[in-house]
Amino acid sequence: MKVTVDTERCIGSGMCVYSSEEVFDQDDDGTSIVLRPEPPAELWDAVRRAVDRCPASAIKATP
Amino acid sequence: MSESVHTLAAMPTERRPGCPFDPPKELIEAREQSPLSRFTFADGHQGWVITGFDLIRQVMADPRFSSRKEFMSHHPTIDYSGYEVPPAPPGEFLLMDDPQHSRYRKPLVGKFTVRRMRLLTERIEQVTAEHLDAMEKAGPSTDLVTAFAKPIPAIVICELLGVPYEDRGRFQENIDKFLGGETSDEELIAAYTATQEYLAELVAAKRASPTDDVLSDLTDSDLTDEELRGMALILLAAGFDTTANMIGLGTFALLQNPEQLAALRSEPELADRAIEELLRYLSVAKTFMRSALEDVEVGGQTIKAGTMVILSMNTANRDPERFPNPHVLDLDRQDGGHLAFGHGIHQCLGQQLARVELRVALPALFRRFPTLRLAVPAEEVAVRPEMADIYGVKSLPVTWDA
Ligand code: HEM
Ligand code: SF4
């Protein structure tokens, strides 16, 4: 799985960090940062949750 | 296309007796019929009510639906004919669209990140413990709203913004009036003016001698005093009332669901999921509105430019297509997601703060008072009217074995 965030769309809600702190973090401006662009399989559920919850549809996870 | 569209005849004004946590039955029935219903506003405007989870997410994520205050020119129950709704004052970004909205939201998001809010945990624990100590010292029984639910979030948001807590007497009551749904127009205007005066002094003080807080940080930018006042007002109002109602109503809901409360007590690791479920189940921020800027297809219907839609968030958070057994409080519910903090560009800025506050306050309350119970029959607990923007209990008389 490959994870990317469109930082232009991101509104800094923190939902992705809340879903998985292993995969996401926020910078000083609150914008999402992908810590693990190719997360291991055990984190895929959490990533899918982040994709579903992101209020700005800013996260993409491609298989 | 529109032959068989469901119509909601009127916005319900009451919940069913004995069901203070459930949306009014008219709205639940509307959702059973259709995720969107036609609805005629008080002035005759032909608009819509959305009760479906997916459709509300779609509308909140779509920039063709505006939050601008001046477009909210129809009201579900008050006839606004002949009255022009003014645009939101500078800084009150909840009722603006981008790019204006992001001018104000952007400088704030970095101050409300998951990480920063978690750093407040210890301080929130301390404030919570102080209030529990005071309750214990005073002995049973008490009104949980004044003794616990209100002061904790109020102290936290004041400290974060840099508002002296001693000053709260000058604006807390006024803010309650904006949101409680039981205030006359004259009172509202007086409350708004008094709050503006207070905030003007506060902003001036922060400019003159900045301290280590969000408001002072914001003075180091191109934001004007008027804009800072508007931003401070939104933050205070949102920070005061919402979490407080979640604590008050959440306590009531847990006391009414003793087996769920017992599960929370015996499995503290349930707490994070339990808070999400309480947010879903109670949806205290229950109704929002949007106005279509152009014709938009939603759920097979065309919502015409200039038409208003009412988003019934609490009904959508009970959507059976999204949540199995939606009307059951199930603290162990997995992966539901919810709309309690909204969706799209306005999604709650303070949500990570609210999560930490709830996560600390509710379990601590039940740990300290294992025998906590209502001091009056449940039917006698006074709840806010359906008109209120934010739902909750007005007071919650509780007692315990000392
Ligand atoms: C459990 C408590 C809370 C709930 C249920 C809640 C709910 C919401 C909802 C549903 C919205 C979206 C409004 C819309 O789309 O029109 C919102 C926006 C907002 N909330 Fe909260 N909120 C809570 C706590 C807080 C706290 C503690 C703060 C304090 C900082 C806060 C600050 C805001 C702000 C500033 C906005 C406007 C964001 C924007 O327009 O971009 N909220 N809240
Ligand atoms: S959930 Fe979406 S909007 Fe929120 S911080 Fe993450 S990427 Fe940004």
Enumerate domains of chain A plus CATH numbers. 2-62 (3.30.70.20)
Q: B179 lies in a domain?
A: yes
Assessment of whether the complete model's pTM goes beyond 0.90: yes
Q: B259 lies in a domain?
A: yes
Q: What is the ipTM of this complex?
A: 0.93
B96: CATH:
1.10.630.10
Q: B21 lies in a domain?
A: yes
**DSSP-assigned letters across all residues of B189-229:** HHHHHHHHHHHHHHHHHHHHS--SSHHHHHHSSS--HHHHH
Contacts of A15 in chain B (CB under 8 A): 347
Q: Which residues line ligand 2 (CB under 6 A)?
A: A 5, 10-16, 32, 54-56, 58-59
pLDDT of residue B78: 87
Q: Which amino acid is at B135?
A: M
pLDDT in tens, B347-392: 999 999 999 999 999 999 999 999 999 999 999 999 999 988 899 9
Q: Kindly list the distances between the CA atom of residue B21 and the CA atoms of B18, B76, B189, B284, B388, in Å, as whole numbers in the listed order.
A: 9, 22, 31, 9, 15
Domain that holds residue B169: 7-399
Contacts of B105 in chain A (CB under 8 A): 11-12
Query: What CA–CA distance (Å, rounded) separates B125 from B218?
Result: 27
Residues B309/B35, Cβ–Cβ less than 8 Å: no
Tokens of B165: 């807590």
Ligand 2: which atom is nearest the Cα of residue A56?
3
Tokens of A46: 């959490």
The structural domain count of chain B equals: 1
pLDDT in tens, B33-46: 999 999 999 999 99
Among B56, B108, B348, B359, residue to substitute to test ligand 1 (most atoms within 8 Å of Cβ): B348
Q: B2 lies in a domain?
A: no
Q: Kindly list the distances between the CA atom of residue B211 and the CA atoms of B12, B176, B397, in Å, as whole numbers in the listed order.
A: 47, 27, 39
pLDDT in tens, B71-120: 999 999 888 888 889 999 999 999 999 999 999 999 999 999 999 999 99
Q: B243 lies in a domain?
A: yes
Q: B69 lies in a domain?
A: yes
Does B171 score more than 60 pLDDT? yes
pLDDT in tens, B193-224: 888 899 999 999 999 999 999 999 999 999 99
pLDDT of residue B195: 87
Q: B213 lies in a domain?
A: yes
Q: B90 lies in a domain?
A: yes
Residue A6, chain B, CB below 8 Å: the answer is no
Strand partners, B233: none
